[in-house]
Amino acid sequence: MKEKMDYEIIDLNAISDERGALVALESFKNVPFEIKRIYYLTNLKPELPRGFHAHKKLQQIIVCMSGSFDLILDDGKDKQIIHLDSPFKGVLIKSLIWREMHNFSNGCVLMTIASDFYDESDYIRSYEDFKKLVSL
């Protein structure tokens, strides 16, 4: 589903039977880019939010595998809080959007699927620099 801001909530369809649910993620199928990296966050603390950056080129899908948290997205004009609590939904972020993750529940596990390898030079970690870049 395309949202007002430049992100999409993607349905990650599960193959379910009495044994449970299985979700497959495939490049250029339900993931609209070549998957080059997957990382996950665990042992999170509700009082210690994460993120606080934007990416210049990287595309990502963020999935809440277990528990719940609030994803804050900010494109420099609007701010959206998305409560994520399902491994069957992903948030696709393709463009310059500031993101923060807050309010991790007990046992929250967050997985990110990324279009490229880790590259610190793709990060914008200063909100001031981000605001300058989006207003260009």
| Residue numbers annotated as active site | 53
Task: Kindly state the helix (H) or strand (E) to which residue 20 belongs, with its residue range.
Answer: strand 20-23
Please calculate the CA angle 31-72-121 and round it to the nearest 5 degrees: 65
**Closest distance to ligand TYD from the beta carbon of 39 (Å):** 5
Query: Given candidates 32, 33, 35, 50, which one binds ligand TYD under the rule CB under 6 A?
Result: 50
Tokens of residue 20, six digits = 């449970």
Query: Given candidates 11, 83, 107, 118, which one binds ligand TYD under the rule CB under 6 A?
Result: 118
Give yes or no for residue 51 binding ligand TYD (CB under 6 A).
yes
Nearest Cα neighbor of 101 from 45, 60, 58 is: 45
Residues that bind ligand TYD in the complex, under the rule CB under 6 A: 37, 39, 41, 50-51, 53, 118
